[in-house]
């Protein structure tokens, strides 16, 4: 009888630790996604501010259209490239934990142009 109780308690403890470990890894995966999203959101904010300054220089200070478009294109392409690297790194780390993550594209307007940026990682439970 004591062996039966001891075995039951042992199985209970093992299952409790297993559930706690699963919850911890899900939380860690979500934290990785949140951190990546915050980094990308920060990059977007900086890019939007720069684009606004470029637009002011273009409209009020006589910047050439070609120079303006080049600045905006370079800014948007750099943002997209950095965001993609952050997303890919986050997805790889989440997959190492055994979860699936994806990102979807969000339009970000910089000056005269809209760029598709992928800041949102979705954890597929």
Query: Measured between alpha carbons, how far is residue 23 from residues 17, 30, 71 in Å?
Result: 10, 11, 46
- Better-scored residue on pLDDT, 18 or 74: 74
How many residues are present in the chain? 125
Instruction: Give the HSE-up count for residue 68: Cα atoms under 13 Å, Cβ half-sphere.
Output: 19
For the entire predicted model, the pTM comes to 0.77
* pLDDT tens digits along 14-50: 554 444 445 588 899 999 999 999 999 999 999 999 9
């Amino acid at each position: 009888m004591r062996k039966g109780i001891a075995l039951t308690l042992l199985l209970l403890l093992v299952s409790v630790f297993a559930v706690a470990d699963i919850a911890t890894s899900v939380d860690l995966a979500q934290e990785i996604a949140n951190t990546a999203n915050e980094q990308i959101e920060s990059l977007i904010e900086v890019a939007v501010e720069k684009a606004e300054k470029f637009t002011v220089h273009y409209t009020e200070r006589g910047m050439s259209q070609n120079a303006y478009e080049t600045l905006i294109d370079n800014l948007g392409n750099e943002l997209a490239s950095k965001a993609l690297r952050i997303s890919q790194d986050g997805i790889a780390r989440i997959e190492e934990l055994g979860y699936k993550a994806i990102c979807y594209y969000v339009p970000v307007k910089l000056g005269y142009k809209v760029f598709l940026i992928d800041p949102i990682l979705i954890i597929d439970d």
